[in-house]
Amino acid sequence: MLSVENLTIGYDHRKSGKKIVQQSLNLRMGAGEFICLLGPNGCGKSTLLRTMAGIQPSLGGCAKLDGVSVDSISLRERSRLLALVLTEPIETLGMRVRELVALGRNPFTGFLGRLSQEDTKRVDESLAQVNLAHKSESTLFELSDGERQRALIAKALAQDAPMIFLDEPTAHLDLPNRVEIMMLLHRLAHEMGKCVLISTHELELAMQVADRIVLMKPEVGGVVDGIPESLVVDGHLQGVFINSSVRFDPYSGTFLMNHKVRGSVAVVSRGEGYLTFWSERALARLGFEIDSEAALRVSVDERHSTWTVDTARGSYQAGSIAEMLMLLVEEYNVDI
């Protein structure tokens, strides 16, 4: 449906000349895919979305919809092929939800913009698909941030375009709403056969729900495209998000903070359970590296929920992770 061929994106300033953000980009996107565009701040995610949608000119190469250059497609015809949801705040918060969603039918209405029965049906269906039908007569001011985001997605659905681009649709949302939006977009791509592409910083969520990840590298480094698991195994995710303060753990698929190392501790698990995992997380937060050969030893009894801390001065018992940490604080004079 959409192909990017040797695309260069950036800005052409009248005084300072061209500023290239990324170049030599090549991508292909098809129906029924939920694709997440990831990368550090300033790498060009939003610029790429706007260029592929045809609202920002490219500096070289092209983006094609069904083999036709986006720049050569009229705005009205392009709006029937691609819906774009940007991060700009909604200015008219007094508008009703139904009125906002109905704007998605503009490519299909006449000069006066009157809705036909088919247009009204598509508005109703779009509201139902994002579970917002009960809020159709509410004003946007009355909605939560998550509900407003779903209203914008409903507007894109009402547009009936086979492709939907969204720029950071989960920004400023709490965790439950971020998960709900990501799962909604995944479902819409798979159940409706649309190609849904989003730019996002939600790497850990994208790892669990995206069909593909397009990873943009910093400093005109180009893109890497693949399924989430392959990008981890090949080391691409670790390479892009490397930082002195945080690191990506390929074994858990999560980001871990690089705490100041205060010492090493051996953790021994007795039985199966999750207490050992969270004990190790707590120790890492205090700056202890996990080392099976360390003299300091913490034994976790999963069955009885007890901890034994063996130090050079003796052996101590704890009834919780917090108590175990307090023993280390007293023994090694570290801060929790």
* Every domain of the chain and the residues it spans: 2-243, 263-332
pLDDT tens by residue, 232-262: 999 888 888 777 788 888 888 888 888 888 8
Superfamily (CATH H level) for 2-243: P-loop containing nucleotide triphosphate hydrolases (3.40.50.300)
Residue 295: band (very low, low, confident or very high) from pLDDT cuts 50, 70, 90: confident
- The yes-or-no verdict on residue 2 having pLDDT over 70 is yes
CA distance 180 to 208: 13
CA distance 103 to 95: 11
DSSP H or E run through 49: helix 45-52
Give the residues across from 160 on adjacent strands.
none
Question: The whole model's pTM is what?
Answer: 0.85
Residue 316: HSE in the Cβ half-sphere, 13 Å Cα cutoff: 19
Amino acid symbol at 252? S
Supply the mean pLDDT for the chain: 89
- The yes-or-no verdict on residue 209 having pLDDT over 60 is yes
**Maximum separation of any 2 CA atoms in the chain, in Å:** 85
Amino acid symbol at 329? V
